[in-house]
Amino acid sequence: MFFFHFGEYILLLKKIFKKPEKWKIYWREILHEMNEIGVGSVGLIIIISTFIGAVMTMQIAFQLVSDLIPNSVIGQINRDSNILELGPTISALVLMGKVGSSISSQIGSMRVTEQIDALEIMGINAAGYLILPKIIAGVIMVPVLVTIAIFCALIGGLFGGSLTGAVSSSDYIMGIRESFNGFTVAVAMVKAFVYGFIITSVPAYKGFFVRGGALEVGQAGTKAVVVGCIVILASDYLITALML
Amino acid sequence: MIEVQDIHKSFGDNKVLEGIDAVFEPGRVSLIIGGSGSGKSTLLKCIVGLHKPDQGRVFFDDQEFTKMDFEEKVPIRKEIGMLFQNSALFDSMTVEQNIIFTLDMFSDMSRKEKIERANFCLERVNLTKTNKLYPAELSGGMKKRVGIARAISMNPKYLFCDEPNSGLDPATAILIDELVQDLTDEFQCTTIVVTHDMNSVMGIGDYIMFLYQGQKFWEGTKDDILRSDTKELNDFVFASPLMKAAREVIK
């Protein structure tokens, strides 16, 4: 079963990356999808990552009780864990729930109402027209969202730490500036790029091949989110193992 | 002209089509009729390339469509207009955008020309002042007419209609039939209609093919139906008391 779906997914990708009929139309769709996927998710990402940053700071402070460790280490740990893991991966999991289910239901509904058949009858590469703009928008906008998420988590950590007295603002800021390794940001961006591809292509695959009616469209949305989350976590492990 | 030769199609163990041969001439409305599950929609989908037949060939004006890959089919598909059972209009687009979509994709017309073309197509199906409405704001009959307007936007050489009258009131159904007939005459296109509406059969059936259990059981014109002794055909066509009475009167 795994190999069947994997093979079908690869064949779908092959169709998606065929030369577009008219770039102008695709470009319009890409801008639309960038707005849907990116701008439409900014609020959610800001709220979630700010709280995660604040909570992380408090929990790190709670665990680092030794007088031998300076308080600035709290900022350092918060920075690195947000850049390397929490920023990209939590954002990706949240986006998979929000954007992934929407993509799967949108394409699935088009399939069961014969809109995809209509596109194919017109001589349009339905897979390319419907999915390529989403993938391009995803790989552009998810890194942007992840950057925003990391920034908000660091700001959240600053407020969370100082408001609860877990770490002073000056110690925290000193910590996030100390021994910064720029390569961690590169790892985060690679993860964000890959997640952007997964968040758009896996649900699109599930929606594109749905058969039946409204019930099956709903089921495909659920499956898309579950499978997508697993693929995100597996690729998180792979990228971390390869790059760090 | 469209010709199908020895079309077979199965879904798993379920044989849906068994050896269908037919020729659909240009300038006339050809109807494919049959009971539910007789394979008529599957045959239509095999003809337009949405299903790949297990065996057999489909020719569009002597070009073997079944042998072509996606890119090779594109020039023929640009000449196809299709009306779907549920209209299949793009939900996210207005009526006007639905109609000019193929023009956007495949023509170099200016924006003004495309809008003029959309207006012409909408006038042709007696539907004006709906340009900016979304499909969700239209009635079933209006959706069908927009579907037809979209199908004729590229001046089709081949027109396919999958159950164009389903879910419509009798008056609107007759209107749609007349539109299909008029457009076939006007564009001289090869029109294939899948239906089980007997009003359509008796109204616009220049050529009728009756499918029964996946096989071509009978073919002829609407006048031939009245004289036919084929039990399966008569059981299907004259199933309702109204049609039985009509036949007696005509006889």
Task: Determine which of A115, A129, A130 to mutate to test the interface with B (most B C-beta atoms within 10 Å).
Answer: A115
Distances (CA, A) of B144 to A227, B149, B202, B242: 38, 9, 21, 26
Name every chain A residue with its beta carbon within 8 A of the beta carbon of B82: 118, 121
Name every chain B residue with its beta carbon within 8 A of the beta carbon of A120: 49-50, 77
Each of the 244 residues of chain A gets a pLDDT tens digit; together they read 889 999 999 999 999 999 998 899 999 999 999 999 999 999 999 999 999 999 999 999 999 877 888 889 999 999 999 999 999 999 999 999 999 999 999 999 999 999 999 999 999 999 999 999 999 999 999 999 999 999 999 999 999 999 999 899 999 999 999 989 999 999 999 999 999 999 999 999 999 999 999 999 999 999 999 999 999 999 999 999 999 8
Of the candidates B53, B10, B40, B4, which has an alpha carbon nearest to the alpha carbon of residue B25?
Answer: B4
Residue B249 has pLDDT above 80, yes or no: no
Flag if B78 and A115 touch (Cβ within 8 Å).
Answer: no
Strands B29-34 and B190-194 turn out to be parallel
Q: What is the pTM of this model?
A: 0.90
Q: Is B73 on the interface with A (CB under 8 A)?
A: yes
Q: Give the range among B134-138, B172-176, B241-245 with minimum mean pLDDT.
A: B241-245
Chain region(s) in chain B for CATH 3.40.50.300: 1-79+158-172+186-251
pLDDT tens digits, one per residue of B171-191: 888 888 888 998 899 889 999
Flag if A120 and B102 touch (Cβ within 8 Å).
Answer: no
Q: Which residues, numbered 34 to 63 in chain B, qualify as contacts with chain A under a Cβ-Cβ cut-off of 8 Å?
A: 48-50
Of the candidates B235, B200, B128, B105, which has an alpha carbon nearest to the alpha carbon of residue A129?
Answer: B105
DSSP readout, A195-216?
HHHHHHHHHHHHHHT--SSHHH
Provide the ipTM: 0.88
8 A C-beta contact, residue A176 and residue A121: no
Structure-block tokens of residue B45 = 């989908």
Residues A127 and A67: their CA atoms lie apart, in Å, by 60
Flag if A122 and B50 touch (Cβ within 8 Å).
Answer: no
pLDDT tens digits, one per residue of B42-87: 999 999 999 999 999 999 998 999 999 988 999 999 999 999 988 8
8 A C-beta contact, residue A173 and residue A78: no
Flag if B82 and A121 touch (Cβ within 8 Å).
Answer: yes
DSSP readout, B168-200?
--HHHHHHHHHHHHHHHHHHT-EEEEE---HHH
Name every chain A residue with its beta carbon within 8 A of the beta carbon of B75: 123
Query: Which amino acid is residue B48, in one-letter code?
Result: V
In the structure, what pLDDT confidence band is assigned to residue B251 with cuts at 50, 70 and 90? low
> What is the CB neighbour count within 10 angstroms for residue A47?
13
Structure-block tokens of residue A231 = 């693929």
Of the candidates A112, B22, B60, which has an alpha carbon nearest to the alpha carbon of residue B33?
Answer: B22
Fold of B1-79+158-172+186-251: Rossmann fold (3.40.50)
User: Which own/partner pairs from B112-121 qualify as long-range (CB within 8 Å, at least 24 positions apart)?
Assistant: B117/B153, B118/B149, B118/B153, B121/B149, B121/B150, B121/B152, B121/B153
Task: Determine which of B44, B45, B47, B50 to mutate to test the interface with A (most A C-beta atoms within 10 Å).
Answer: B50
Q: Is B155 on the interface with A (CB under 8 A)?
A: no
Residue B242 has pLDDT above 90, yes or no: no
Distances (CA, A) of A89 to A50, A66, A136, A152, B46: 15, 30, 19, 15, 45
Q: Is B124 on the interface with A (CB under 8 A)?
A: no
Beta-carbon-side half-sphere exposure of residue B231 (alpha carbons within 13 Å): 0
